[in-house]
């Protein structure tokens, strides 16, 4: 993959999808349906998925594409593919809480190598540059012109006073039990893949996920965190979280800055 070609395209598509999502988000009402797994899907999910899919297939016709909204049609498996969650945080979108993102990533040999996470309602954009460094962009988010960017890096963590981020919609007792193993200075909640980005920027030290996620939920945020010097490991044995699994389902995991002294489950 030519990353100099990839990055401008996935950034552009994320912004254009975000614009479409916000049109629907700001409307008086929008349609909500229930998928076969009982999860909600909105017209914004479907519109963003269509826009991104068309763009990626035109630009990279020979690369396998996996998207959440078309996941039931994915039969081919591999270690190299593009993976998309066109609207991560649908519940946050439905309740108009703003913590939703557009996620696009490129996975090679089971590792998310590059990615973009765009939170249009929060006016935050994170992506990996061609050289792999993660950055945050500020400004008008012009699809054609990259605005001002700043490199982001994980915190130098103090294990006596850690900052924890956890899921807003899926926090449970098991998550709290694990967090309580650490010396926590402060804990915050966030939706969607923004949690990875908060660790990447040093706004949090650790994000444990003791609950179901899919690869399209995590790949872009995972790429951004890797590009900021962070790590993502399985919850059970602390080995790296890998992609291209048979059903695209993730095990429980921990995303963290490397100075954090990880506790066992």
Contact (Cβ atoms closer than 8 angstroms) between residue 44 and residue 92? no
**Rounded Cα gap, residues 125 and 114, in angstroms:** 14
Residues with Cβ within 8 Å of residue 67, at least 6 apart in sequence: 49, 52, 53, 83, 84, 85, 86, 216
**Residues 210, 174 contacting (CB under 8 angstroms):** yes
pLDDT tens digit sequence for 215-227: 999 999 999 999 9
pLDDT band for 73, please (50, 70, 90 cuts): low
What percentage of the chain exceeds 70 in pLDDT? 92
199, 225 contact by CB (below 8 A): yes
Q: Say yes or no to pLDDT of 36 above 70.
A: no
**Architecture label for domain 162-256:** 3-Layer(aba) Sandwich (3.40)
Q: Reply yes or no on whether the pLDDT at 160 is more than 90.
A: yes
- Judge residue 253's burial from the number of C-beta atoms within 10 Å of its C-beta, 0-12 exposed, 13-18 middle, 19 or more buried: buried
pLDDT tens for 170-208 read: 677 888 999 999 999 999 988 889 999 999 999 999 999
Q: Are strands 184-190 and 148-151 parallel, antiparallel or unpaired?
A: unpaired
Domains 3-151 and 162-256 share a fold: no
d(CA 138, CA 242): 30
Predicted local distance difference test score (pLDDT) of residue 77: 63
Which CATH architecture does the domain made up of 3-151 adopt? Answer: 2-Layer Sandwich (3.30)
Query: Which residue, 132, 147, 138, is CA-closest to 228?
Result: 132
pLDDT level of residue 134 (50, 70, 90 thresholds): very high
Quick one: which of 255, 214, 220 has its CA closest to 114? 220
| CA distance linking residue 224 with residue 68, whole number of Å | 19
Domain ranges of the chain: 3-151, 162-256
pLDDT band at 34 (very low <50, low <70, confident <90, very high): low
Contacts of 131 (CB under 8 A, 6+ apart): 3
């Amino acid at each position: 993959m030519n990353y100099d070609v990839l990055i401008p395209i996935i950034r552009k598509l994320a912004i254009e999808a975000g614009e479409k999502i916000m049109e629907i988000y700001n409307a008086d009402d929008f349609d909500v349906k229930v998928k076969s797994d009982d999860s909600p899907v909105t017209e914004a999910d479907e519109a963003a998925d269509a826009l991104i899919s068309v763009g990626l297939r035109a630009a990279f016709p020979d690369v396998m594409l996996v998207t959440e909204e078309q996941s039931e049609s994915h039969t081919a498996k591999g270690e190299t593919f593009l993976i998309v969650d066109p609207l991560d945080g649908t519940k946050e979108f439905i309740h108009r809480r703003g913590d939703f993102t557009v996620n696009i990533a490129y996975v090679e040999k089971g590792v998310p190598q590059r990615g973009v996470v765009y939170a249009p309602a929060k006016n935050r954009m994170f992506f990996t540059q061609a050289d792999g460094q993660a950055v945050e962009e500020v400004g008008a988010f012009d699809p054609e012109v990259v605005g001002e960017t700043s490199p982001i890096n994980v915190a130098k963590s103090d294990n006596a006073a850690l900052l924890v981020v956890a899921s807003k919609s899926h926090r449970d007792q098991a998550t709290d039990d694990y967090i309580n193993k650490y010396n926590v200075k402060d804990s915050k909640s966030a939706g969607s893949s923004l949690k990875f980005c908060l660790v990447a920027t040093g706004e949090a030290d650790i994000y444990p996920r003791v609950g179901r996620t899919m690869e399209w939920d995590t790949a872009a945020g995972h790429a951004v965190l890797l590009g900021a010097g962070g790590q993502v490991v399985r919850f059970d044995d602390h080995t790296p979280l890998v992609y291209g699994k048979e059903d695209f389902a993730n095990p429980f995991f921990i995303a963290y800055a490397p100075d954090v002294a990880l506790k066992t489950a």
